[in-house]
Amino acid sequence: MSDYIITMDPSSGATHVRPAAVAGFFYPADPTQLTRAVDGYLAGAPAAVGTDAPKAIIVPHAGYIYSAPVAAPAYAALHGAAGRITRVVMLGPAHRVAVRGLAAPTATAFRTPLGAVPIDRASIEAITGLPQVELRDDAHRDEHCLEVQLPFLQRILGDFTLVPLVVGGASPDAVAEVLERLWGGPETLIVISSDLSHYHDYATAQRMDRRAAEAIESFDLDGLDHEQACGRLPILGLLTAAQRHGLSVERLDLRNSGDTAGPKDRVVGYGAWKLRETYPKEAAPGDEAMHPVRPHAKRLLRTAAAALRYALRRGRIPNVELARFPAPLAEPASTFVTLRHGPRLRGCIGTIEPMRPLAADVVANTFGAAFHDPRFDPLASSELRGLSISVSILSPRRPLAFKDEAELLARLRPGIDGLLIRNGTQRGVFLPQVWESLPAATNFLLHLKDKAGIERPLQPQSDHAEIFSAYSAGTVTMYTGDGMAGLHRYD
| Residue 209: its H or E element | helix 202-217
Same domain as 343, residue 239: no
Ordered strands of the 398-399 beta sheet: 398-399, 464-468, 418-423, 426-430
CB neighbours of 129 closer than 8 A, spacing ≥ 6?
Answer: none
Could you tell me the CATH number of the domain that includes residue 312? 3.30.700.20
pLDDT of 479? 63
Same domain as 206, residue 87: yes
Q: Nearest Cα to 96, choosing from 39, 141, 38?
A: 141
Residue 486 lies in a domain: no
Same domain as 108, residue 60: yes
- C-beta of residue 52 within 8 angstroms of C-beta of residue 276: yes
CB neighbours of 188 closer than 8 A, spacing ≥ 6?
Answer: 55, 85, 87, 88, 89, 182
Could you tell me the CATH number of the domain that includes residue 11? 3.40.830.10
| Residue 214: its H or E element | helix 202-217
- C-beta of residue 421 within 8 angstroms of C-beta of residue 458: yes
Residue 83 lies in a domain: yes
Please give the DSSP secondary-structure letter assigned to residue 129: T
Same domain as 412, residue 382: no
SS3 call for 447: helix
Q: Last residue of a domain, which of 277, 311, 336?
A: 277
Same domain as 444, residue 388: no
CB neighbours of 71 closer than 8 A, spacing ≥ 6?
Answer: 41, 59, 60, 149, 152, 270, 272
SS3 call for 251: strand
**Neighbouring C-alpha atoms within 13 Å toward the C-beta of 97:** 14
Domain total for the chain? 3
Query: 426 pairs with which residues across the strands?
Result: 423
Q: Which amino acid is at 52?
A: D
Residue 447 lies in a domain: yes
Same domain as 199, residue 161: yes
Burial 88-111 (b: 16+ CB within 10 A, else e): bbbbbbbeeeebebbbbbbbbbbb
Helix, strand, coil percentages, rounded to 5, for the chain: 35, 30, 40
Q: C-alpha distances in angstroms, 244 versus 102, 173, 176, 395?
A: 21, 12, 10, 20
Residue 282 lies in a domain: no
Residue 210 burial class via C-beta count within 10 angstroms: exposed 0-12, middle 13-18, buried 19 and up = middle
Could you tell me the CATH number of the domain that includes residue 449? 3.30.1490.150
- From CA 68, how far away is CA 64, in angstroms rounded? 5
Beta-sheet strands, E only, within 67-182: 87-93, 102-104, 109-112, 115-118, 133-135, 161-167
Q: Which amino acid is at 63?
A: G
**Neighbouring C-alpha atoms within 13 Å toward the C-beta of 399:** 6
pLDDT of 49? 60
Same domain as 187, residue 58: yes
The per-residue pLDDT string of the chain (491 residues; one tens digit each, 9 = 90 and over) reads 233 333 333 334 456 899 999 999 999 999 999 999 999 999 999 876 655 789 999 999 999 999 999 999 999 999 989 999 999 999 999 999 999 999 999 999 999 999 999 999 999 999 998 999 999 999 999 999 999 999 999 999 999 999 999 999 999 999 999 999 999 888 999 999 999 999 999 999 999 999 999 999 888 888 898 899 999 999 999 998 887 777 888 999 999 999 999 899 999 999 999 998 654 333 333 333 346 788 888 889 989 998 998 999 899 998 898 888 888 899 999 999 999 988 889 999 999 888 899 999 999 999 999 999 999 999 999 898 889 999 999 988 888 888 889 888 888 888 888 899 988 888 889 988 888 888 888 999 999 999 999 999 998 888 888 988 888 888 888 864 323 333 434 34
Same domain as 96, residue 65: yes
- From CA 238, how far away is CA 91, in angstroms rounded? 9
| Residue 314: its H or E element | helix 297-314
Q: C-alpha distances in angstroms, 77 versus 42, 58, 117, 313?
A: 10, 12, 21, 43
- From CA 205, how far away is CA 211, in angstroms rounded? 10
Same domain as 427, residue 385: no
Residue 132 lies in a domain: yes
Per DSSP, the residues of 263-292 read -SSSEEEEEEEEEEE-S-TTSPTT-GGG-T
- From CA 430, how far away is CA 469, in angstroms rounded? 11
SS3 call for 397: coil
Residue 25 lies in a domain: yes
Residue 482 lies in a domain: no
Q: Last residue of a domain, which of 250, 277, 304?
A: 277
Neighbours of 207 (CB within 10 A): 11
CA dihedral 446, 448, 452, 456 (to 10 degrees): -20
Query: 228 pairs with which residues across the strands?
Result: none
Q: Last residue of a domain, which of 233, 258, 277?
A: 277
SS3 call for 424: coil
Residue 488 lies in a domain: no
Same domain as 163, residue 218: yes
Q: Nearest Cα to 50, choosing from 408, 399, 438, 421?
A: 438
The bridge status of strand 133-135 relative to strand 188-193 is unpaired
Same domain as 437, residue 300: no
CA 127, 132, 136, 142 torsion-angle sign? negative
Q: Nearest Cα to 176, choosing from 225, 229, 243?
A: 243
The domain containing residue 179 runs over which residues? 5-277
Q: Nearest Cα to 125, choosing from 108, 138, 111, 141?
A: 108
CA 27, 29, 30, 31 torsion-angle sign? positive
pLDDT of 285? 35
Same domain as 424, residue 388: no
